[in-house]
Amino acid sequence: MKFSEMPYKRPDLDAIEREYARITEEFEKADSAEKQYELILEHEKLTCDFDTMSTIAYIHNSINTTDPFYEKEMAFFDANNPVMNSWRQKFYEAVNRSAFKEKLAERTGQLFFTNIALSLKSFSDKTTELQKRENALVTEYEKLLASAKIDFHGETLNLSEIQKYTISPDREVRREAWTKAAEFFSENSKRLDEIFDELVKNRTEQAHRLGYENYVQLGYDRLGRNCYGPREVAEYREQIVHELVPIITDIKKKQAQRLGLSALKFWDNDCIFPDGNPKPQGSTKELVDAAERMYNEMSPLTGEFFRFMRENELFDLESKKGKAGGGYCTSIPGYKAPFIFSNFNGTAGDVEVLTHEAGHALADYVSRDMVIAETRTPTMDAAETHSMSMELFSRPWDPLFFGDDTEKFHRYQLEVALDFIPYGCLVDHFQTAVYEHPEMTPDERKQTWLKLEHTYRPWIDFEGIPYFCEGGGYQRQHHIYSFPLYYIDYCLAQTTALEFWSASEKDWKEAFTRYLDFVKAGGTKTYVELVNDAGLQLPFQRGCIRKISEEVCRFIDSGKA
pLDDT at 559: 74
- Tell me how far apart the alpha carbons of residues 514 and 503 are, in angstroms, rounded to a whole number: 10
Q: Read off the pLDDT of each residue in 501-521 and give the average, rounded to a whole number.
A: 98
Q: Is the pLDDT of residue 321 over 90?
A: no
Task: Give the pLDDT band (50/70/90) at residue 175.
Answer: very high
Side-chain half-sphere CA neighbours of 148 within 13 A: 29
pLDDT at 561: 67
Q: Please report how the helices 406-436 and 488-506 are oriented relative to each other, as an axis angle in degrees rounded to 10.
A: 150
- Tell me how far apart the alpha carbons of residues 164 and 279 are, in angstroms, rounded to a whole number: 10
- Tell me how far apart the alpha carbons of residues 533 and 529 are, in angstroms, rounded to a whole number: 6
CA angle 543, 549, 550 (to 5 degrees): 85
Q: Is the pLDDT of residue 134 over 80?
A: yes
Q: What are the angstrom distances between the C-alpha of 340 and each of 312, 330, 364, 544?
A: 12, 7, 11, 32
Q: Is the pLDDT of residue 64 over 80?
A: yes
Query: What string of DSSP letters covers 215-263?
Result: HHHHHHHHTT--S--HHHHHHHHHHIIIIIHHHHHHHHHHHHHHHT-SS
Q: Read off the pLDDT of each residue in 459-485 and give the average, rounded to a whole number.
A: 95
Q: How many CB atoms lie within 10 A of CB 463?
A: 9
Q: Is the pLDDT of residue 421 over 90?
A: yes
For residue 214, the 8-state DSSP code is S
Side-chain half-sphere CA neighbours of 156 within 13 A: 6
Contacts (Cβ under 8 Å, ≥6 apart) of 315: 288, 309, 339, 340, 341, 342
Supply φ then ψ for residue 337, to 5 degrees.
-135, 130
Q: What are the angstrom distances between the C-alpha of 102 and each of 42, 88, 125, 378?
A: 20, 21, 28, 22
Task: Supply the Cα-derived Rg of the chain in whole angstroms.
Answer: 23
Contacts (Cβ under 8 Å, ≥6 apart) of 166: 174, 177, 178, 181, 267, 270
Task: Give the pLDDT band (50/70/90) at residue 558.
Answer: confident
Identify the burial level of 172 via C-beta atoms within 10 angstroms of its C-beta, where 0-12 means exposed, 13-18 middle and 19 or more buried.
exposed
In the 3-class helix/strand/coil scheme, how is 416-468 assigned residue by residue?
A: HHHHHHHHHHHHHHHHHHHHHCCCCCHHHHHHHHHHHHHHHCCCEECCCCHHH
- Tell me how far apart the alpha carbons of residues 129 and 141 are, in angstroms, rounded to a whole number: 19
Task: Give the pLDDT band (50/70/90) at residue 334.
Answer: very high
Contact in structure between 455 and 426 (CB atoms under 8 Å): yes
284 Rama class: left (phi>0) / alpha (psi -120 to 50) / beta: alpha
For residue 124, the 8-state DSSP code is -
92-132 confidence digits (pLDDT tens): 999 999 999 999 999 999 999 999 999 999 999 999 999 99
Q: Is the pLDDT of residue 320 over 80?
A: yes
pLDDT at 326: 86
44-55 confidence digits (pLDDT tens): 999 999 999 999
Mean pLDDT (the chain) is: 96
Task: Give the pLDDT band (50/70/90) at residue 385.
Answer: very high
Query: What string of DSSP letters covers 68-80?
Result: HHHHHHHHHHHHH
Q: For a pLDDT cut of 70, what percent of the chain falls above it?
A: 100
Q: What are the angstrom distances between the C-alpha of 12 and each of 49, 77, 93, 298, 353?
A: 10, 12, 23, 43, 36
pLDDT at 413: 96
